[in-house]
Amino acid sequence: MKKRIGIIRALLYYRYGNFFINFFKYLGINYLISPETNKELIDLGVKNSSSEVCLPLKIACGHLLYLKDKVDYLFIPKIIYPYEKLYTCPKMMGLPTIAWYFCGKKKIISPTIKRNFFLPLFFLGLKFKKNPFKIISAYLKAKEKKENKKLSFDNEKLKVAILSHFYNIYNKEIEDILIGTFKKEGFSVYLKDDLDEKILRKKDGFAKNIRWAFERELYNAFKYYSDKVDGICFFFSFACGPDSLIGEMMAKEAKEKKIPFLTIIFDEHSGKEGMITRIEAFCEMIKKKKSL
Amino acid sequence: MATVYIGIDVGSISTKGVVLDDNFNVITYEYLRTKGRPIEAVLNLIKIFKERVGNNVKFGGVGTTGSGRRLAGVMIGADIVKNEIIAHAIAASHFYPNCQTVIEIGGQDSKIIILRNGIPVDFAMNTVCAAGTGSFLDHQAQRLGIPIEEFGKLALKAKTKVNIAGRCTVFAESDMIHKAQLGFPIESIIAGLCEAIVRNYLNVVAKGKDIKPLILFQGGVAANVGVREAFKKELKEEIIVPEYFLVMGAIGAAILAKEETNGRGSRFYGFGISNCEFNTKAIECNGCANRCEIIHTYRDNELIDIYGDRCGKWSGG
């Protein structure tokens, strides 16, 4: 029987998922993706992981456990530098090792990626397919160009930028609460990942000192949006070390620039009512300020 | 026939209501303990207002706020359901137009609202921790066998200072017990607790906020003179506790209701609803893995509201 590879719909999936899936597809490898995060997966993860880590990692553990017995291998790449010499987060790098504990070392496929995606994936491909040209062509085909949204700021009356990591925000429930509430209040919502890579990877000013890739992106997005929108909402997970540092920097600069800045911290105990209350008050505040 | 505006603030610990006249003067107000039964508390409030105000009035507008605002709004037919941050800010700038900071500490949450020229420009609410809020003070008063009303006054009698850990209520409590066992007088311990609450508030909730005078202190904990004094000492500014500090949220809701209806008249079901019977039924939907908790609200066995589903299967979109 054909072997099947499991892909978790968590953390870096929301950045590289399509690329990996396409690579497997063009190579003709069978794969299974865990379903969109739901309450059962969250509960599964929270119950079985360390209580000290952030919720996104606990959710990732939930996805791992869900897939564990349904697939022959679990694909959890160890991405150390996504680009340049900038790190992802230590917990993301540690996830393959956490997965050993849950599923045994033999089941885990985790190519180590340091900027270069090609070689690790090429060797991975060799495990399944003999023909190297097929692997190269699958890799090239999978590398599709990301299309950027055209952003317009001129015609919108109320604008808010939501800054958060892709894995926090691209979830149906969070989208409903966070983006939904802003939209209900009449705001146009701009996200970090709507921006062009060129803007997100800028190296000038303080951004140069940030050694975490995704934090630098957040900070650059903040810089870019700060003179274009009416308010900025920073949404991050409790126990996220890098985020709490960058959040503090952004809050400080927002204060100097007099831009309304709302920080929302969530964990598995956060009620949605509390979030909605804060967002509504924030929207109201901006509207009152603008009506002056 | 006089026009009145009603504001109701359903909080975690207490339910507050107020009746205002056309010029926003307080006709009557009431503060009840919610006791975990928000429906009863709201009906009691309506009953009390019915007795005090009588039937010979016109309802100009009704607003609800607080964490139980939605349910209360559905029950009584509110014209506006508004979050408590805005409600408090509105009421504060109504009574003190030049107020720049509002400190609000309630039963389970504490917030700071920064106003400039009467407009809220910044706010913060306690996030993952409710340390140093009213319910903790309540609990300590009960543990020490002191009526909560006397609790703050005792702090003023303290002659010595005791340092109490304020970060976490669990640590604060063990610290208080420990200090008592060392032999510190109870007044000093309570004074230390008041200071710890203020320290915690300023370091966690009000962190990085521009606290400028006039500073208003409202919400249930403002009744505690010990905490008031501690704030004064820490901020080195005059702290004003408004006359209606307990019901500021409700007053804000009533003011917002007037703005909302703008003379059109209210949707309010009238004082008669205090005789209706309200029931709620909670079920867990098994339609998908999200397991939403759906709340059905009934008035005299008639379904008036469904709430809580994410997909719209129950609430119809």
When the pLDDT of each residue in chain B is averaged and rounded to a whole number, the result is 88
A29 plus A69 within the same structural domain: yes
Name the β-bridge partners of B215.
B101, B239
A113 plus A242 within the same structural domain: no
A209 plus A168 within the same structural domain: yes
CB-CB under 8 Å, A285 with B128? no
Q: How many C-beta atoms lie closer than 10 Å to residue A126's C-beta?
A: 12
Residue-level pLDDT at B8? 95
CB within 8 A of A222, min separation 6: which ones? Answer: A161, A163, A232, A234, A250, A253, A254
Please, which pLDDT band fits residue B256 given cuts at 50, 70 and 90? Answer: very high
What are the pLDDT digits (tens) for B61-72? 999 999 889 999
- Dmax over Cα atoms in chain A, in whole Å? 69
Q: Say how far apart CA B226 and CA A12 lie, in whole Å.
A: 51
A137 plus A21 within the same structural domain: yes
- Residues in B closer than 8 angstroms to A179, CB to CB, are none
- Dmax over Cα atoms in chain B, in whole Å? 64
CB-CB under 8 Å, B117 with A285? no
Query: How many CA atoms are closer than 13 Å to the CA of B82, on its beta-carbon side?
Result: 31
A42 plus A168 within the same structural domain: no
- Residues in B closer than 8 angstroms to A173, CB to CB, are 290, 310
Q: Say how far apart CA B68 and CA B64 lie, in whole Å.
A: 8
Give the DSSP H or E segment for A223. helix A213-226
Interface test with B, best of A285, A286, A288, A290 (most B CBs within 10 A): A285
What is the number of CB-based contacts under 8 A between chain A and chain B?
59
Residue-level pLDDT at B232? 93
Measured CB to CB, residues of chain A less than 8 Å from chain B are: 35, 38-41, 172-173, 176, 238, 251-252, 255, 260, 265, 267, 269-270, 273-274, 277-278, 280-282, 284-285, 288-289, 292
Q: Examine residue A251 and state whether it is found in any structural domain, yes or no.
A: yes
Q: Examine residue A125 and state whether it is found in any structural domain, yes or no.
A: yes
Q: Examine residue A8 and state whether it is found in any structural domain, yes or no.
A: yes
Is residue B316 pLDDT above 80, yes or no? no
User: Nearest-CA neighbor of B251 among B67, B5, B79, B74?
Assistant: B5
Q: How many domains does chain A have?
A: 2
User: Nearest-CA neighbor of A287 among B169, B213, B86?
Assistant: B86
DSSP label of A49? S
A63 plus A28 within the same structural domain: yes
CB-CB under 8 Å, B290 with A285? no
Give the DSSP H or E segment for A25. helix A13-27
Q: Examine residue A270 and state whether it is found in any structural domain, yes or no.
A: yes
Is residue A269 pLDDT above 80, yes or no? no
Is residue B317 pLDDT above 60, yes or no? no
Closest approach of chain A CAs to the CA of B30, in angstroms?
24
Give the DSSP H or E segment for B89. helix B84-95
CATH classification of the domain holding A239: 3.40.50.11900
Interface test with A, best of B10, B67, B70, B83 (most A CBs within 10 A): B83
Helices B186-200 and B134-144, axial angle in degrees (round to 10) = 170
Q: Say how far apart CA A35 and CA B303 lie, in whole Å.
A: 35
What are the pLDDT digits (tens) for B141-180? 888 888 888 888 888 888 887 888 777 777 888 888 888 8
Task: Check whether the bond before A121 is cis (ω within 30° of 0).
Answer: no
What are the pLDDT digits (tens) for A191-244? 998 888 889 999 888 888 899 999 999 999 999 999 999 999 999 998 898 999
How far, rounded to the nearest angstrom, does the alpha carbon of residue B301 sit from its chain's CA centroid? 30
Asked if A20 contacts A29 with a C-beta cutoff of 8 angstroms, the reply is: no
Q: B122-147 burial by CB neighbour count: b if 16+ within 10 A, else e?
A: bbbbbbeebbbbbbbbbebbeeeeee
User: Nearest-CA neighbor of A63 among A94, A42, A91?
Assistant: A42
Residue-level pLDDT at B313? 80
Decide which of A142, A174, A197 is a domain's last residue: A142
Chain B residue whose CA is closest to A238: B128
Please, which pLDDT band fits residue B285 given cuts at 50, 70 and 90? Answer: confident
Q: Examine residue A287 and state whether it is found in any structural domain, yes or no.
A: yes
Chain A residue whose CA is closest to B209: A255
Give mean pLDDT, residues A255-277: 86
Please, which pLDDT band fits residue B128 given cuts at 50, 70 and 90? Answer: low
Q: Examine residue A98 and state whether it is found in any structural domain, yes or no.
A: yes
Q: Examine residue A148 and state whether it is found in any structural domain, yes or no.
A: no
Q: Examine residue A86 and state whether it is found in any structural domain, yes or no.
A: yes
What are the pLDDT digits (tens) for A170-192? 888 888 889 999 999 999 999 99
- Residues in B closer than 8 angstroms to A269, CB to CB, are 128
Structural domain boundaries enclosing A81: 4-142
Give mean pLDDT, residues A74-85: 92
Amino acid (1-letter code) at residue B208:
G
Is residue A254 pLDDT above 80, yes or no? yes
pTM, two decimals, is: 0.84
Token pair 């079985």 is found at A48
CB-CB under 8 Å, A39 with B291? yes
Of chain A, the percentage scoring pLDDT greater than 90 comes to 53
- What CA dihedral angle connects A203, A205, A209 and A211, to 10 degrees? -40
Greater model confidence, B130 or B180: B180
Contacts of B33-38 with C-beta under 8 Å, sequence gap 24+, read B34/B10, B34/B68, B38/B10, B38/B68, B38/B71, B38/B72
A97 plus A183 within the same structural domain: no
Q: Say how far apart CA A190 and CA A153 lie, in whole Å.
A: 10
Residue-level pLDDT at A292? 67
Residue-level pLDDT at B200? 86
- Residues in B closer than 8 angstroms to A270, CB to CB, are 128
Of A39, A251, A255, the CB nearest to B289: A39
Q: Say how far apart CA A67 and CA A9 lie, in whole Å.
A: 10
Decide which of A110, A142, A174 is a domain's last residue: A142
Of A260, A269, A284, the CB nearest to B86: A284
Please, which pLDDT band fits residue A291 given cuts at 50, 70 and 90? Answer: confident
Pick the CATH number of B98-241 from 3.30.230.10, 2.40.50.100, 3.40.50.720, 3.30.420.40: 3.30.420.40
Please, which pLDDT band fits residue B287 given cuts at 50, 70 and 90? Answer: confident
CATH-assigned architecture of domain B2-90+249-275: 2-Layer Sandwich (3.30)
Q: Say how far apart CA B225 and CA B292 lie, in whole Å.
A: 43
Give mean pLDDT, residues B88-112: 91
CATH classification of the domain holding A104: 3.40.50
CB-CB under 8 Å, B290 with A267? no
Query: How many CA atoms are closer than 13 Å to the CA of B58, on its beta-carbon side?
Result: 9
Asked if A259 contacts A228 with a C-beta cutoff of 8 angstroms, the reply is: no
User: Nearest-CA neighbor of B135 among B169, B163, B93, B162?
Assistant: B169
Write the ipTM.
Answer: 0.78
A187 plus A238 within the same structural domain: yes
Domain boundaries, chain B: 2-90+249-275, 98-241, 278-307
When the pLDDT of each residue in chain A is averaged and rounded to a whole number, the result is 90
Of chain A, the percentage scoring pLDDT greater than 70 comes to 98
- Residues in A closer than 8 angstroms to B86, CB to CB, are 280-281, 284-285
Asked if A163 contacts A192 with a C-beta cutoff of 8 angstroms, the reply is: yes
- Residues in B closer than 8 angstroms to A176, CB to CB, are 310
Give mean pLDDT, residues A10-24: 91
